[in-house]
Structure 1
Amino acid sequence: MDLDRAFSPATHINLNIRGMRQSATVAINDLSKQMLKDGHEVFKLGLGQSPFPVPEIMTQALQENAFQKDYLMVKGLPALRQSIVDYYERTQGLDYNPDHVLVGPGTKELMFILQLTYYGDLVIPAPSWVSYAPQARIIGRKLHWLPTAIETGLGVTPDELEKLCQTDPDLPRLMILNYPGNPTGMTYSEDQLKEIAEVAKKYRVLILSDEIYGGVTFSGNHVSIARFYPEGTIISNGISKWAGAGGWRLGAFVFPESLSWLPEPMTSVASETFTSTSAPIQFAAIKAYEQSAEMDSYLEHCREILAALCTDAWRQLTAIGVELAEPKGGFYLFPNFEPLRTAIEAKGITSSMQMCERLLAETGVACLPGSVFGRPDNEFSARIACVDFDGAEALKAVARGNPVDQAFLEIYCYPVVEATRRICQWLTQDDA
Structure 2
Amino acid sequence: MQKHVRQSVQEIEISGIRKFNNRVAGIPDMIRLTLGEPDFPTPDHVKNAAIEAIHHDFTNYTPNAGTQELLQAASHYFYDKYDLTYSPKEIIVTVGATEAISVAIQTILEAGDEVLLPDPIYPGYEPIIHLMGAVSVKIDTTETAFKLTAEQLRAAITPKTKALILPYPSNPTGVTLTAEELAEIAEVVRETGILVIADEIYSELTFFGTHTSIATMIREQTIVINGLSKSHAMIGWRIGFLMAPEALISQMIKVHQYAVTCASSISQKAAEEALRNGKDDAVQMRTEYNTRAGFVHERLVKMGFSIIEPDGAFYFFAKLPDSVSENSFDWAIALAEEAKVAVVPGDAFSEKGDRYFRLSFAASFSQLAEAMDRMTSFMNKYA
Short-chain TM bin:
over 0.9
Q: Which secondary structure does the structure 2 equivalent of 1:344 belong to?
A: coil
1:30: Cα distance to partner?
A: 3.8
Match for 2:259 among 273, 280, 294?
A: 273
1:113: Cα distance to partner?
A: 1.9
Q: Does 1:420 align with 2:372?
A: yes
Please report the TM-score for the alignment, with normalisation by the length of structure 1. Answer: 0.83
1:208: Cα distance to partner?
A: 1.2
Question: Which residue of the partner structure matches residue 307 of structure 2?
Answer: 324
Match for 2:339 among 344, 349, 363?
A: 363
Question: Are 2:307 and 2:316, in contact at CA under 8 Å, matched by a contact in 1?
Answer: yes
Question: Which residue of the partner structure matches residue 176 of structure 2?
Answer: 187
Please report the TM-score for the alignment, with normalisation by the length of structure 2. Answer: 0.93
- Summarize deviations over 1:357-411 as a string: whole Å, max 9, x none: 111111111111111102336x31011111232xxxxxxxxxxxxxxxxxxxxxx
1:263: Cα distance to partner?
A: 1.5
- Summarize deviations over 1:245-294 as a string: whole Å, max 9, x none: 111111011113xxx2221222112221211110010111012222x4x5
> Amino acid of the residue matched to residue 106 of structure 1?
G
Question: Which residue of the partner structure matches residue 89 of structure 1?
Answer: 79
Question: Which residue of the partner structure matches residue 35 of structure 2?
Answer: 47
Give aligned-pair identity as a percent. Answer: 27
Question: Which residue of the partner structure matches residue 195 of structure 2?
Answer: 206
1:417: Cα distance to partner?
A: 2.4
Question: Which residue of the partner structure matches residue 100 of structure 1?
Answer: 90
1:328: Cα distance to partner?
A: 1.2
Equivalent runs, 1:169-184 vs 2, <5 Å? 170-184=159-173
Match for 1:217 among 174, 190, 206?
A: 206
* Counterparts of 2:23 and 2:58, CA distance in 1: 36
* Counterparts of 1:355 and 1:130, CA distance in 2: 21
* Counterparts of 2:206 and 2:67, CA distance in 1: 28
Return closer, same or farther for 1:321/1:430 CA change in 2, 3 Å cut-off. closer
1:196: Cα distance to partner?
A: 1.0
Question: Which residue of the partner structure matches residue 110 of structure 1?
Answer: 100
> Amino acid of the residue matched to residue 25 of structure 1?
I
Question: Are 1:153 and 1:184, in contact at CA under 8 Å, matched by a contact in 2?
Answer: no
Match for 1:315 among 284, 298, 301?
A: 298
Return closer, same or farther for 1:113/1:59 CA change in 2, 3 Å cut-off. same
Q: Who wins on radius of gyration, i.e. which is larger?
A: 1
- Summarize deviations over 1:112-152 as a string: whole Å, max 9, x none: 122111024221111000211122122222000011035x4
Question: Are 1:28 and 1:47, in contact at CA under 8 Å, matched by a contact in 2?
Answer: no
Equivalent runs, 1:333-372 vs 2, <5 Å? 333-337=316-320, 340-341=321-322, 343-345=323-325, 349=326, 351-372=327-348
Question: Are 1:76 and 1:102, in contact at CA under 8 Å, matched by a contact in 2?
Answer: yes
Question: Are 1:331 and 1:387, in contact at CA under 8 Å, matched by a contact in 2?
Answer: yes
* Counterparts of 1:424 and 1:178, CA distance in 2: 32
1:430: Cα distance to partner?
A: 4.7
* Counterparts of 1:87 and 1:138, CA distance in 2: 34
Question: Are 1:25 and 1:48, in contact at CA under 8 Å, matched by a contact in 2?
Answer: no
User: Alignment RMSD, CA only?
Assistant: 1.8
Question: Which residue of the partner structure matches residue 410 of structure 1?
Answer: none
Question: Which residue of the partner structure matches residue 48 of structure 2?
Answer: 60
1:205: Cα distance to partner?
A: 2.0
Match for 1:288 among 271, 274, 279?
A: 274
- Summarize deviations over 1:58-87 as a string: whole Å, max 9, x none: 101111111211111111111111111111
> Amino acid of the residue matched to residue 387 of structure 1?
A
Question: Are 1:220 and 1:300, in contact at CA under 8 Å, matched by a contact in 2?
Answer: no
Q: Does 1:388 align with 2:363?
A: yes
Question: Are 1:55 and 1:295, in contact at CA under 8 Å, matched by a contact in 2?
Answer: no
Question: Which residue of the partner structure matches residue 407 of structure 1?
Answer: none
Question: Which residue of the partner structure matches residue 300 of structure 1?
Answer: 283
* Counterparts of 1:234 and 1:184, CA distance in 2: 22
Long gaps (5+) in structure 1: 1-7, 390-412
1:304: Cα distance to partner?
A: 1.0
Q: Does 1:263 align with 2:249?
A: yes
1:110: Cα distance to partner?
A: 1.9
> Amino acid of the residue matched to residue 104 of structure 1?
T
Question: Are 1:175 and 1:205, in contact at CA under 8 Å, matched by a contact in 2?
Answer: yes
Equivalent runs, 1:249-260 vs 2, <5 Å? 249-256=238-245, 260=246
* Counterparts of 2:375 and 2:82, CA distance in 1: 39
* Counterparts of 1:32 and 1:58, CA distance in 2: 33
Q: Which secondary structure does the structure 2 equivalent of 1:17 belong to?
A: helix
- Summarize deviations over 1:192-233 as a string: whole Å, max 9, x none: 111111111111121111111111111362111112222211
Question: Are 2:195 and 2:221, in contact at CA under 8 Å, matched by a contact in 1?
Answer: yes
Equivalent runs, 1:115-264 vs 2, <5 Å? 115-119=105-109, 120-149=113-142, 152-165=144-157, 168=158, 170-219=159-208, 221-256=210-245, 260-264=246-250
* Counterparts of 2:194 and 2:208, CA distance in 1: 29
